[in-house]
Amino acid sequence: MSTPTSADVVVIGSGICGALAACRLAQQGLSVLILEAGPRIDRGRIVAAFRNSTRRGDWMSPYPFSPWAPQPEYKPRDNGYLVQAGPYPYPAEYIRVVGGTTWHWAAQAWRLVPNDVRIKSLYDVGVDWPITYDELDAWYQEAEEILGVAGADNTGSPRKHPFPMQPVAEPWSMRRFRERLAPAYAVVANTVARNSRSYDGRPACVGNNSCQPICPVNAQYLGINAVDSAEAAGAKVVPNAVVYRIEADAKGRIAAVHYYDPDKQSHRVTGKEFILAANGIESPKLLLLSATDKYPNGLANRSGMVGRNLMDHPSSSLTFYADEELWLGRGPQSPSSINTMRDGAFRAQHAAYRLDFTNISQVNAVTEDLIREGVYGPAFKQQLRWRAARQCNVKNVLEVLPHPENRITLSSEKDALGIPKPEAHYSIDEYTRRGADVSHNDFAKIAQLMGGTGLRYSLDGQFANNQHITGTLGMGNDPTKFVTDGFGRSHDHENLFCCGTGVMPTAATMNSTLTAVALALRTVEHMHPRQATTKESVARAAAETSA
């Protein structure tokens, strides 16, 4: 069968956002073509690769690397794909395969809190969103129903309808945190796209603790589930199709995209509408790559903001030994958190944050520590058992503000196809650092309540990255300041829409994918409204009209 070269809608990227957008449009009878840079992969092979890996702590290790669709990798050494211009590293991880990066996500699927979209008005920091939380509510609900989100009532994010599912069973370690921290903190179940019961043909979580890098039983919703639904609805996927240029016509409409196959043969695909969903780094890269004489700064870049306001959620952390056996590693990896610092007047002074407890088995980490310390023989066995049973970790998940100088640009270095690599320019400001300092008081209190010994803070001033690539295609009403409008449509090209975490104008404190999916569903509804036959869609249409 020949590869299609035209469609009503061409989608660039088959991650969770692109695939769900494609699915929704294909369900409406439109012809939809998804161009995906990476290959198709098979869950069974990834599970086997993980089991056989000597680097199980490296969640990228089971995933194939394709020279034509490189992805950033850091172990055993940095492959240099995402060039770091500094001054602070931005070591983003993503997977370029059919289904995208959620193959190895932790499935935390939180809503924002209402004030997150008004921080400029309320606290005079960051920017306001062009939409309200109330407008997002119905799209969150729809996203949660598609993904199968399990959650508790006490998340701090208002909702009009219940979660599709009750929370996943609480692991023992998290129960003990909840009970022992109760005098000072409310430890709640994380809201997750992970089944607590059979849902939509996928089984309930069985608690085997390999959510990252791969859930063997399909209990977490992944981008590949969205791809399957899109294909079932009639969308066509072209794997190994590396888009390298988007072409605008004389009137400024997008006319076509160009992609390379792995042999560097070029192909041109036309369409009536285009959705850019290649993630918060590759999408702005593509717009910048598409510069012409008429658009010397790249497409969709009248504002000069393409690639700017790069954000994530930096984390520092505390590791310690509790005074009782917790045996992390039973149940999902990321089950519980403390969410009371997500909002408040303090946001005028310092970053909001939440506190997240890991439930990842500590056996690997402790083994590495003991080998490094030169412990052998019976002492090794005794220490391994003692430490792995008690070692635990809490991290902060910090808000960062949008700064134009934090950005993705095109590097002078090229990949194997001769395409410029993305280059990250990043720093962490005092606002976020002050938030980290405040959260360290919580760390100390938590350790004290858990009878903690052997306290080890992550290195002073050092932050880990949480892989929530936000802000590079920010939405806002002013075309001179924002890349996309409130519906994700490019201000400069009327048939170009952006889906993904990049359109979020601020990062708040919650993992960003659920919000990006909700926004993507709203974008495609704006492109092609469904028949308003259900009570829900009538209410949604009314809310959009009155907004």
Instruction: Looking at residues 17 to 76 of the shown chain, list those that interact with ligand FAD (rule: CB under 6 A).
Output: 17-18, 35-38, 59, 69
Looking at the Cβ atoms of 390 and 468, the one nearer to ligand FAD is 468
Find the binder of ligand SF4 among 28, 101, 190, 209 (CB under 6 A): 209
Q: How far is the CB of 180 from ligand FAD (least distance, A)?
A: 25
Is residue 211 within the footprint of ligand SF4 (CB under 6 A)?
A: yes
Is residue 219 within the footprint of ligand SF4 (CB under 6 A)?
A: yes
Is residue 104 within the footprint of ligand FAD (CB under 6 A)?
A: yes
Is residue 311 within the footprint of ligand FAD (CB under 6 A)?
A: no
Which one-letter amino acid corresponds to residue 196?
A: S
Among residues 521, 495, 478, which one has the least CA distance to residue 130? 478
Q: Which does 295 bind (CB under 5 to 8 A by kind): ligand SF4, ligand FAD, none?
A: none
Q: How far is the CB of 172 from ligand SF4 (least distance, A)?
A: 14
Is residue 210 within the footprint of ligand SF4 (CB under 6 A)?
A: yes
Looking at the Cβ atoms of 107 and 341, the one nearer to ligand FAD is 107
Looking at the Cβ atoms of 147 and 527, the one nearer to ligand FAD is 147
Distances (CA, A) of 178 to 124, 153, 185, 194, 424: 35, 16, 8, 21, 39
Q: Which does 219 bind (CB under 5 to 8 A by kind): ligand SF4, ligand FAD, none?
A: ligand SF4
At which residue do the structure tokens 């409204």 appear?
529
Could you tell me if 140 and 159 are in contact, meaning their C-beta atoms sit under 8 angstroms apart?
A: yes
Q: How far is the CB of 210 from ligand SF4 (least distance, A)?
A: 5
Looking at the Cβ atoms of 34 and 447, the one nearer to ligand FAD is 34
Task: Please return the burial class of 120, using the count of CB atoms within 10 Å of its CB with bins 0-12, 13-18 and 19+.
Answer: middle
Q: How far is the CB of 159 from ligand SF4 (least distance, A)?
A: 23
Task: Please return the burial class of 440, using the count of CB atoms within 10 Å of its CB with bins 0-12, 13-18 and 19+.
Answer: middle
3-state secondary structure string, 432-452? HHHHHHHHHHHHHHHHHHCCC
Span near ligand SF4 by CB under 6 A; candidates 43-51, 205-213, 272-280, 491-499: 205-213
Is residue 194 within the footprint of ligand FAD (CB under 6 A)?
A: no
Alpha-carbon torsion 382, 383, 385, 390, what sign? Answer: positive
Q: How far is the CB of 343 from ligand SF4 (least distance, A)?
A: 29
Span near ligand SF4 by CB under 6 A; candidates 200-208, 252-260, 297-305, 429-437: 200-208
| Per rule CB under 6 A, count of chain residues that contact ligand FAD | 41
Is residue 472 within the footprint of ligand FAD (CB under 6 A)?
A: no
Give the contact letters, 258-297, x = binds to ligand FAD (CB under 6 A), - = no.
Answer: -------------------xxx--x---x-----------
Buried b or exposed e, range 64-87, using 16+ CB within 10 angstroms: ebbebbbbbbeeeeeeebbbbeee
Is residue 232 within the footprint of ligand SF4 (CB under 6 A)?
A: no
Q: Give yes or no: 468 in active site.
A: yes
Which one-letter amino acid corresponds to residue 174?
A: M
Residue 65 in 3-state DSSP? coil
Is residue 336 within the footprint of ligand SF4 (CB under 6 A)?
A: no
Instruction: Looking at residues 432 to 471 of the shown chain, list those that interact with ligand FAD (rule: CB under 6 A).
Output: 467-468
Alpha-carbon torsion 28, 233, 145, 185, what sign? Answer: negative
Q: Which does 363 bind (CB under 5 to 8 A by kind): ligand FAD, ligand SF4, none?
A: none
Q: How far is the CB of 90 from ligand FAD (least distance, A)?
A: 13
Is residue 106 within the footprint of ligand SF4 (CB under 6 A)?
A: no
Is residue 332 within the footprint of ligand SF4 (CB under 6 A)?
A: yes
Is residue 96 within the footprint of ligand FAD (CB under 6 A)?
A: yes
Distance CA 36, CA 16 (A): 12
Catalytic residue among 313, 403, 425, 468: 468
Looking at the Cβ atoms of 363 and 417, the one nearer to ligand FAD is 417
Contacting residues for 133 by C-beta, under 8 A, at least 6 apart: 112, 113, 114, 116, 117, 158
At which residue do the structure tokens 């399909």 appear?
218
Distance CA 221, CA 15 (A): 12
The H-or-E segment that residue 11 falls in is strand 6-12
Distance CA 311, CA 465 (A): 10
Is residue 472 within the footprint of ligand SF4 (CB under 6 A)?
A: no
Q: What secondary structure letter does DSSP report for 161? A: S
Is residue 194 within the footprint of ligand SF4 (CB under 6 A)?
A: yes
Looking at the Cβ atoms of 217 and 438, the one nearer to ligand FAD is 217
Q: Taking the mean position of all CA atoms in its chain, how far away is CA 452?
A: 32
Among residues 61, 65, 30, 31, which one has the least CA distance to residue 48? 61
Is residue 423 within the footprint of ligand FAD (CB under 6 A)?
A: no
Contacting residues for 337 by C-beta, under 8 A, at least 6 apart: 187, 188, 190, 354, 355, 356, 357, 397
Give the contact letters, 375-404, x = binds to ligand FAD (CB under 6 A), - = no.
Answer: ------------------------------
Looking at the Cβ atoms of 207 and 420, the one nearer to ligand SF4 is 207
Distances (CA, A) of 4 to 24, 236, 247: 20, 8, 18
Could you tell me if 435 and 350 are in contact, meaning their C-beta atoms sit under 8 angstroms apart?
A: yes
Q: What secondary structure letter does DSSP report for 150? A: B
Binding-site ranges for ligand FAD (CB under 6 A): 12-18, 35-38, 59, 69, 93-94, 96, 100-102, 104-108, 212, 223, 242-243, 277-279, 282, 286, 467-468, 500-501, 511-513, 516
Residues acting as catalytic residues: 468
Binding-site ranges for ligand SF4 (CB under 6 A): 194, 205-211, 215, 217, 219-220, 332
